[in-house]
Structure 1
Amino acid sequence: FLLIATLFKSVEPIHIIKNAPWQVVWFSLGLYIVVYGLKNAGLTEYLTTFLTYLNAQGNLIAVVGTGFTSAVLSAFMNNMPTIMVMDIALKDIANSSMIYANIIGCNLGPKMTPFGSLATLLWLHTLSQKGVKIGFWQYSKFGLIVTPPILLVVLLTLI
């Protein structure tokens, strides 16, 4: 892409490299390393055991439990690695509602903290460059109040 940009003079590659949100790049790279380590430490096996237990409790508990588990993991571990880890943990559980609950949780959960989603981190970086500062607690206070009830209502539609 940098080669094409250089050929067409649409953007200067040095400008892109200089102004890239490197803290987000390093954060996401570190995130995948940590998640890989957690997987090797048995996180997926633990989640498989936990999700199998939830599934045995009936569809209501299975769906709500799966959705909130993936939401909390997404909020604090980021949604991209969470969806991957949870997909592995759910692969042998024959409950499509739990799979949908995982997808919903991984999409709504990141609204609870700023580092739950790389898109949010990029937006916050862009806003801070424009002089709009939104702190962790300011973002999380609102997200932690608004997200759980919305998540619950959406998950209940799967029952």
Structure 2
Amino acid sequence: MGVYNVHERLLAAKGSEAGALIDSLSGGVADRLWPHPNWPPVEFDRPLAVGATGGHGPVRYTVTAYVPGTWVRCTFSGPRGFHGFHEFAVLPVDEERTVLRHTLAMKTSGLARLTWPVAWRPMHDACLEDSLDCAELACTGAVARPARWTPYVRLLRALAR
């Protein structure tokens, strides 16, 4: 099964401001992009750079491309059956507005053909919208329309605990 999943947010921010959010991606205190503590933290074996390995929760990956302030791509190594990548990219619109985009492109195999649409996708979508809320808050000081978890996502989160 092929999966192409995109989340993006138009930010009232310069490209350099949005790019700094990508550069902060670490799951640590200085990370202004990842929606911690609501989701398992992002952890890497070293600072963000090509070759860094890590992930969040059971999702594992290796940084396979990184252009500071612009783009980071991570290639999946887990869970089993995820074959592809996810990435954050900064796309300047003009001097004062930027699109921050997250793209996931992968093929699923085995059990992941079932678990992606039933469990992983709803959780992924909720986490990414929370991440974009973090980005908007960091760039503007407010979130115009905060993401809301569906009852199904709340159920999945409860079952995961």
Same fold, judged at TM 0.5 (above): no
Structure of greater relative contact order (alpha carbons < 8 Å, 6+ residues apart) = 2
Structure with more strand by fraction: 2
The normalised TM-score by structure 1 is 0.32
The normalised TM-score by structure 2 is 0.32
